[in-house]
Homo-oligomer: A and B are copies of this chain.
Amino acid sequence: MNAATKADVYRAIADPTRRAILDRLRAGGAPVNALAADFAQTRPAISKHLRVLKQARLVKEQRIGRERVYRLEPLPLQQVVGWLEGYRAMWQTNLDNLKRHLEKK
Protein backbone atom coordinates (compact mmCIF):
# COMPACT_ATOMS: atom_id res chain seq x y z
CA MET A 1 0.00 0.00 0.00
CA ASN A 2 1.44 3.38 -0.93
CA ALA A 3 1.77 6.34 1.40
CA ALA A 4 -1.09 8.27 -0.19
CA THR A 5 -3.50 5.39 0.34
CA LYS A 6 -2.38 4.97 3.93
CA ALA A 7 -3.13 8.61 4.67
CA ASP A 8 -6.47 8.59 2.85
CA VAL A 9 -9.11 10.23 4.99
CA TYR A 10 -11.97 8.44 3.17
CA ARG A 11 -10.43 5.10 4.07
CA ALA A 12 -10.00 6.26 7.66
CA ILE A 13 -13.65 7.19 8.11
CA ALA A 14 -15.02 4.18 6.24
CA ASP A 15 -14.95 2.04 9.39
CA PRO A 16 -17.78 2.62 11.91
CA THR A 17 -15.55 1.96 14.92
CA ARG A 18 -13.10 4.62 13.75
CA ARG A 19 -15.92 7.12 13.29
CA ALA A 20 -17.12 6.29 16.79
CA ILE A 21 -13.61 6.87 18.13
CA LEU A 22 -13.51 10.28 16.46
CA ASP A 23 -16.95 11.10 17.89
CA ARG A 24 -15.77 10.01 21.32
CA LEU A 25 -12.66 12.20 21.07
CA ARG A 26 -14.79 15.25 20.41
CA ALA A 27 -15.58 15.14 24.12
CA GLY A 28 -11.85 15.31 24.87
CA GLY A 29 -8.64 13.32 24.56
CA ALA A 30 -8.42 9.80 25.93
CA PRO A 31 -5.79 7.11 26.53
CA VAL A 32 -6.01 3.84 24.61
CA ASN A 33 -7.32 1.71 27.45
CA ALA A 34 -10.21 4.08 28.07
CA LEU A 35 -11.22 3.80 24.43
CA ALA A 36 -10.86 0.02 24.48
CA ALA A 37 -13.22 -0.09 27.46
CA ASP A 38 -15.74 2.20 25.77
CA PHE A 39 -15.90 0.19 22.58
CA ALA A 40 -15.81 -3.33 24.00
CA GLN A 41 -12.88 -4.24 21.79
CA THR A 42 -9.44 -5.46 22.73
CA ARG A 43 -6.68 -2.91 23.16
CA PRO A 44 -4.69 -4.01 20.10
CA ALA A 45 -7.76 -3.55 17.90
CA ILE A 46 -8.20 0.02 19.14
CA SER A 47 -4.47 0.57 18.83
CA LYS A 48 -4.62 -0.38 15.16
CA HIS A 49 -7.59 1.88 14.52
CA LEU A 50 -5.69 4.73 16.16
CA ARG A 51 -2.73 4.06 13.90
CA VAL A 52 -4.94 4.41 10.83
CA LEU A 53 -6.43 7.62 12.21
CA LYS A 54 -2.94 8.91 13.00
CA GLN A 55 -1.75 8.16 9.46
CA ALA A 56 -4.69 10.17 8.16
CA ARG A 57 -3.69 12.94 10.61
CA LEU A 58 -7.11 12.81 12.23
CA VAL A 59 -5.66 12.29 15.70
CA LYS A 60 -2.41 13.15 17.37
CA GLU A 61 -0.84 11.39 20.29
CA GLN A 62 0.56 13.04 23.40
CA ARG A 63 2.69 10.97 25.76
CA ILE A 64 2.02 11.63 29.42
CA GLY A 65 4.07 9.30 31.57
CA ARG A 66 3.24 5.80 30.45
CA GLU A 67 -0.07 6.89 28.98
CA ARG A 68 -0.60 8.10 25.45
CA VAL A 69 -3.50 10.48 25.20
CA TYR A 70 -5.07 10.66 21.76
CA ARG A 71 -6.64 13.92 20.69
CA LEU A 72 -8.87 14.80 17.79
CA GLU A 73 -7.35 16.70 14.89
CA PRO A 74 -10.36 17.25 12.64
CA LEU A 75 -8.84 19.39 9.92
CA PRO A 76 -8.41 16.66 7.27
CA LEU A 77 -12.17 16.15 7.35
CA GLN A 78 -12.42 19.40 5.44
CA GLN A 79 -11.27 17.48 2.40
CA VAL A 80 -14.47 15.44 2.57
CA VAL A 81 -16.56 18.54 3.16
CA GLY A 82 -14.95 20.07 0.11
CA TRP A 83 -15.80 17.08 -2.04
CA LEU A 84 -19.38 17.02 -0.81
CA GLU A 85 -19.77 20.72 -1.50
CA GLY A 86 -20.23 20.04 -5.20
CA TYR A 87 -23.29 17.88 -4.45
CA ARG A 88 -25.09 20.30 -2.18
CA ALA A 89 -26.69 22.16 -5.08
CA MET A 90 -27.84 18.89 -6.61
CA TRP A 91 -29.68 17.45 -3.68
CA GLN A 92 -31.22 20.81 -3.06
CA THR A 93 -32.57 20.53 -6.61
CA ASN A 94 -33.77 17.02 -5.86
CA LEU A 95 -35.63 18.21 -2.78
CA ASP A 96 -37.13 21.08 -4.77
CA ASN A 97 -38.30 18.66 -7.43
CA LEU A 98 -39.85 16.42 -4.80
CA LYS A 99 -41.57 19.39 -3.18
CA ARG A 100 -42.90 20.59 -6.52
CA HIS A 101 -44.05 17.09 -7.36
CA LEU A 102 -45.93 16.80 -4.07
CA GLU A 103 -47.51 20.21 -4.42
CA LYS A 104 -48.67 19.48 -7.94
CA LYS A 105 -51.16 16.85 -6.72
Interface residues of A (CB under 8 A from B): 10-11, 13-14, 16, 19, 22-23, 26, 72-75, 77-78, 80-81, 83-84, 86-88, 90-91, 94
Contact = CB atoms under 8 A, between A and B. Distances in A.
A80 B78 contact: no
A29 to B, nearest CB: 13
A6 to B, nearest CB: 14
B10 A83 contact: no
Copies in the complex: 2
Interface majority SS (helix, strand, loop, mixed), chain A:
helix
Contacts of A13: 10
Contacts of A72: 90
Nearest to A18: B10
